[in-house]
Structures are given as structure tokens and as C-alpha cells.
């Protein structure tokens, strides 16, 4: 406690003396020696620069300053009790809020089962998960709007701590026309197809878009998507209607809502996607967010077995 400020102990002793009208009775109730209690009350008076009690032979009487201090001291101690209870609830996951971000397609194959299990384990914890794109999530974590996130690499990692990759998936080509998925598809073939690409707002920052552009440039061709949409789900639905063909993460093809008339095939060469957790360097995570990340890792390990099929299928 800084000099010149009352301590919580002094306020406790003061209120006990107020309640019992006697230093001796207050000390007995608190199981301390009377001189210790009396000394702390005198220190409180010295700190505040006022007399709090008029000491008589029969009992303690409050001064005007003492009467004014009573509600303030009670409020301070109530606030401390409330703070302690709130922190205890968060520590024990009887409260608090998960603050986490993900790329949009994680809502298809990771978040439903993860969020449902976390909710069953910790029903009193609020869950806030947001994010449309890995770059957006990285920016939100960097600015402190989110505590942590799961992103596709590479990202701008300035001001971030990036974990080792926790999931490796592959990009696959999907089409409603069976003849187009009879064999792996290379970038030259992609340049001749009617493509539907997602991440319309994030063309420059999306890892897949950047890598495809680099592959096309090396092959001396150009990719010109016929349709651009925001979400992979929209691209998948349009492909199912025969509007064009698309590129999605293999795990998206394992989504329960993936259209039955779409077939997939690997790209040639294989395009791998690597995903990692991001937090702020040195920033402590709340117990709720830490527990959510720990459970996410368990679910991701199970997903990895599915994702491995995308590299060998």
C-alpha cells in the first residue's frame, strides 16, 4: 500500500471497532491483540488527518469524520469482496468470456463441435468468436480487440506471437462436372476454367490467392476468376449450381452440408495450408480463452487425421 493511503486492514479494524464500540471487543472478535488493533486505528487517523473516535471510559463514540467514513469503508470492502469473487469465478471458469478469432471456414468443420463441448464443460462462460479472414483476425489480436486466434499462415506477424503450425490442410479443386475432377489439376488448367474464388475483400492478403498468382506467373499464365465471393460456402453453393468450379480447403469437403453433386481433386503440385494460433507477445490470456484454446487443440488433432486424407486421396 502506498504511503498516505488507508490499508484494507485498517478499514476492517475501524469497522469492527464501530460495530462493537470497543477496541477490546473488536480485537477479541478478530482474534488479534487489542494493542495491534488500536495501533492500526491510530495509524488510520494519522493517514486521514482526522480523529475518528472519542474515547470514553464506557465505549467508543464516533466523531463526525468517523460517521462519514463508515459508508465509504463499507463500500471499499464490498468492492474488494466483489472483485475477489469475480476473479475467482474466472479462475475457476465459473464466469468470464472467451475472446477468440478464426477464419470463416472454421465455422464449418471446427467451431460447432468445439463450441458445443466447451459450453457443456463450462456453461457459465460466455463465448465470443469472430473473424472472416486470417488477416482480420491477426489485426484484431494485435490491436487487443481479441485475445487470441487461429489463422492461416503466412500472416503479417508484427506485434504477434505465432505458435508452431497446429493444423495442415490442402486446397482441392471442386466441380459439379465429373470429367474435370478425373485427375489432379495444375495452374495451366486453372487458367482455362471458369473459377469461383472466395475471399473477395482479401485478395492481396489471402495466402491462397497470393500463392495462386505466383504459380500462374511462374507458368506464364494468368488467373481471372469469373466470380468472386466472400465465403467458401458461397463458392461451394455456386459450384454446385454449375456456375463454375472452385478451390476450397479439403476439410470443407468433409462438412456435413457439402453438396453431394460436387467432386474434388488435388491440385498439382499439392497446395498445403498451415494454421497456427496467434496471441500478443507477453500478453496473458484469460483462463476462459486459454481453456478454449486447449480444447481447440484437442479437436484440431482429430481433424488432422481427416486432413491427411486430402494429401493422399
pLDDT block averages, 10 residues each, the chain of length 313: 75 93 91 92 93 86 94 90 67 79 92 95 91 88 94 91 95 96 95 92 80 91 92 94 95 94 94 94 84 94 84 61
What cell numbers appear for 42 in the block? 491510530
Closest CA to 103 of 227, 303, 275: 275
DSSP class of residue 279?
Answer: E
Q: Which domains does the chain have, with CATH numbers?
A: 8-87 (1.10.10.10), 97-166+276-308 (3.40.190.10), 167-274 (3.40.190.10)
Which helix H or strand E contains 304, and what residues bound it? Answer: helix 287-312
Look at residue 1 in the predicted model and tell me its pLDDT.
38
- DSSP state letter for 283: P
Question: How far is 279 from 152, CA to CA, in rounded Å?
Answer: 14
pLDDT of residue 2: 41
Give the CB-side neighbour count of residue 200, counting CA atoms within 13 A. Answer: 13
Per-residue confidence (pLDDT) for residue 245, from 0 to 100: 97
Model pLDDT, residue 120: 93
Cell of 20: 462493537
Measuring CA to CA, which residue among 138, 131, 140, 173 is closest to residue 153?
138
In the DSSP assignment, the letter for residue 202 is G
Amino acid at each position: 500500500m502506498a504511503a498516505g493511503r488507508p490499508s484494507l486492514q485498517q478499514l476492517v479494524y475501524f469497522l469492527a471497532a464501530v460495530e462493537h464500540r470497543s477496541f477490546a471487543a473488536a480485537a477479541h472478535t478478530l482474534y488479534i491483540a487489542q494493542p495491534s488493533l488500536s495501533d492500526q486505528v491510530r495509524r488510520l487517523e494519522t493517514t486521514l488527518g482526522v480523529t475518528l473516535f472519542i474515547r470514553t471510559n464506557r465505549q467508543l463514540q464516533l466523531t463526525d469524520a468517523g460517521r462519514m467514513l463508515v459508508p465509504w469503508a463499507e463500500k471499499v470492502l464490498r468492492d474488494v469482496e466483489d472483485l475477489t469473487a469475480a476473479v475467482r469465478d474466472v479462475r475457476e471458469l465459473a464466469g468470464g468470456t472467451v475472446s477468440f478469432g478464426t477464419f470463416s471456414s472454421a465455422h464449418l468443420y471446427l467451431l460447432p463441435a468445439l463450441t458445443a463441448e466447451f459450453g457443456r464443460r463450462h456453461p457459465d462462460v460466455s463465448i465470443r468468436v469472430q473473424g472472416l479472414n486470417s488477416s482480420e483476425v491477426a489485426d484484431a489480436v494485435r490491436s487487443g480487440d481479441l485475445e487470441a486466434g487461429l489463422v492461416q499462415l503466412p500472416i503479417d506477424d508484427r506485434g504477434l506471437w505465432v505458435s508452431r503450425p497446429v493444423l495442415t490442410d490442402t486446397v482441392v479443386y471442386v466441380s459439379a462436372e465429373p470429367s474435370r475432377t478425373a485427375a489432379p489439376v495444375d495452374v495451366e488448367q486453372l487458367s482455362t476454367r471458369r473459377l469461383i474464388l472466395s475471399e473477395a475483400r482479401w485478395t492481396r492478403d489471402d495466402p491462397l490467392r497470393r500463392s495462386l498468382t505466383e504459380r500462374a506467373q511462374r507458368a506464364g499464365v494468368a488467373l481471372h476468376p469469373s466470380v468472386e465471393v466472400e465465403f467458401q460456402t458461397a463458392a461451394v453453393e455456386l459450384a454446385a449450381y454449375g456456375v463454375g468450379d472452385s478451390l476450397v480447403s479439403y476439410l470443407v469437403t468433409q462438412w456435413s452440408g457439402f453438396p453431394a453433386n460436387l467432386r474434388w481433386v488435388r491440385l498439382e503440385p499439392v497446395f498445403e495450408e498451415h494454421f497456427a494460433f496467434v496471441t500478443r507477445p507477453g500478453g496473458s490470456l484469460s483462463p476462459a480463452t486459454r481453456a478454449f484454446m486447449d480444447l481447440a487443440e484437442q479437436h484440431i488433432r482429430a481433424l488432422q487425421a481427416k486432413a491427411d486424407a486430402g494429401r493422399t486421396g
